[in-house]
Structure 1
């Protein structure tokens, strides 16, 4: 009996010693890597990278970062926690990203979206390309969360199903959610480049800086509850440039060029407001158009160039101070 007790004691000691130094199978790294020659069974370390965003996201801690090691196409991804996707470390600095023919590229959906969403997502140094027999649907679709940030991102060949390339459509619980876009190019979109709206019209905001949108049915569309501030940007060669499409929608344009619109450069519908400062409108079929009781407010420093039918006029002018 004494010998049996001793053997059990030794076994228990060995087991406890091993547990002290073992790495939990569920442990997640704050930084992981993906590569075109990786494998999703890997731990997603730099020397043993995963192959896809979706494969790496389950092995990356909330608030962490996934980097790509080469300029591959790493598949579509659904994001349900705070995270950064960054392809700045691709070979020779070439951005990798997502190939999303016929499907959505990125979906952001906070698990607490119906109550108190908190996640913050950043997409940086990426391409999101929907090229294929059927082009992509949404390039990026934000359903719920606290914020979405895009930095140095190129999005192209999207819009199957008449959906936007970027759809920022937070839930009613996501009041105050924000979209930040800097150095973003959007081209060749069947429907809309960027749509900002919210469920039940709760207040949400978008800030676009140095953004180019071309070859889209609509450049930027802001709906009820949305306020978009667009600066130092070019929304040209689209069907419509900027459209505030329903009540309590506001667009502030500063240093924006809108040219070659096949319909209207700036279009405000009933109950909406568009403010213009240092805006250039050139060679649009209509420069400015309003319906119902809408406001297009000028700060008196804009340039309304020749338009095929009518340049249109702001509904009011504000003195610069």
Structure 2
């Protein structure tokens, strides 16, 4: 009998823990309620973040405006397909090195309040942004990564009408990684993807970067902080500048391009500073740019 009681208690504890790991968010909710109960969801994203346990999940139930939030722990924010989870304020992610935050299915627009940044990624760890639209942050970046040693993953997102789409600018010798896949960047006032200070490895794959001031920008200001961007299977078109690598002093900035199309830009490729490099794997299509359609060098042949 005692053994049965112990097993029963463990099952009850496990069930309670599983329930608490989920927090619900809805346009008709109330932050003062029990947000772990689907019938009494939270009203604001910040309220749901506060109620959500470490490694828990915030489930957005219906259409609504949910405000910004500051996230300092591992969690997932999930809006399913068909739900418009509208966010008009900045989301700040400031997590530790071993933490991971996933933001999925958000519709962010900075035009409402004029916030400078869509997502400010200012701590270490890993941030994943999926299936989201980030637009109208007209004084900053859609996603801004500023922490050395952090990892940013952007997948199946649309970024438009920001100053910069995705920017990494850590100013740190410690390497930071950015992976962008299956995404669309349009109408940015500066660049769609920018590495602007700090040791970075950026990969942009299977994406469109078009109709803005610039496609991809890599900047290096110190030999100890090299910037490397790899562009793979992308279309870079109808920008004032397609690709731009720039160095200052002893800096290192390299853009490597494979299986991509660069066309109808004002300048296909721009190099600023001796040693800046835009290199080809020899399998790209470069055509109809008004100026500067020549790579600075060739990478080793494809293996």
TM-score band, normalised by shorter chain: 0.7 to 0.9
State the superposition RMSD in angstroms. 1.8
1:182 alignment partner, one of 155, 160, 184: 155
1:97 alignment partner, one of 70, 86, 98: 86
Question: Where in structure 2 are the equivalents of 1:78-117 lying within 5 Å?
Answer: 78-88=70-80, 93-100=82-89, 104=90, 106-110=91-95, 117=97
Counterpart for residue 207 of structure 1: 179
1:65 alignment partner, one of 57, 60, 82: 57
1:29 alignment partner, one of 17, 20, 25: 20
Counterpart for residue 137 of structure 1: 116
Distance in 1 (CA, whole Å) between partners of 2:114 and 2:209 is 21
Match of 1:200, SS state, is coil
Is the CA contact (8 Å cut-off) linking 2:33 and 2:42 kept in structure 1? Answer: yes
Structure 2 residue 302 is the aligned partner of structure 1 residue 320 = yes
Aligned pair count reads: 275
- Structure 1 residues without counterparts, runs of 5 or longer: 1-20, 22-27
**TM (normalized to structure 1)?**
0.82
Counterpart for residue 294 of structure 1: 276
Match of 1:55, SS state, is helix
Distance in 2 (CA, whole Å) between partners of 1:70 and 1:255 is 36
Is the CA contact (8 Å cut-off) linking 2:193 and 2:216 kept in structure 1? Answer: yes
Deviations along 1:70-100, one digit per CA (max 9) or x if unpaired, are 11110100001001111117xxx22313122
Is the CA contact (8 Å cut-off) linking 1:297 and 1:318 kept in structure 2? Answer: no
Counterpart for residue 251 of structure 1: 229
Deviations along 1:81-121, one digit per CA (max 9) or x if unpaired, are 001111117xxx22313122xxx2x10112xx5xxx32210
Is the CA contact (8 Å cut-off) linking 2:30 and 2:41 kept in structure 1? Answer: yes
Is the CA contact (8 Å cut-off) linking 2:61 and 2:83 kept in structure 1? Answer: no
**TM (normalized to structure 2)?**
0.86
Distance in 2 (CA, whole Å) between partners of 1:214 and 1:257 is 12
Distance in 1 (CA, whole Å) between partners of 2:51 and 2:83 is 25
Runs (4 or more) in structure 1 with deviation over 6 Å come to none
Match of 1:250, SS state, is strand
Aligned-residue offset at 1:241: 0.5
Distance in 2 (CA, whole Å) between partners of 1:260 and 1:201 is 34
Question: Where in structure 2 are the equivalents of 1:220-259 lying within 5 Å?
Answer: 220-223=193-196, 224-247=198-221, 248-259=226-237
Question: Where in structure 2 are the equivalents of 1:255-274 lying within 5 Å?
Answer: 255-262=233-240, 264-270=241-247, 271-274=252-255
Is the CA contact (8 Å cut-off) linking 1:202 and 1:225 kept in structure 2? Answer: yes
Is the CA contact (8 Å cut-off) linking 2:88 and 2:109 kept in structure 1? Answer: yes
Counterpart for residue 291 of structure 2: 309
Counterpart for residue 6 of structure 1: none
- Structure 2 residues without counterparts, runs of 5 or longer: 1-11, 13-18
Counterpart for residue 279 of structure 1: 260
Aligned-residue offset at 1:234: 0.5
Distance in 1 (CA, whole Å) between partners of 2:281 and 2:290 is 24
Match of 1:56, SS state, is helix
Is the CA contact (8 Å cut-off) linking 2:106 and 2:132 kept in structure 1? Answer: yes
Distance in 1 (CA, whole Å) between partners of 2:239 and 2:294 is 14
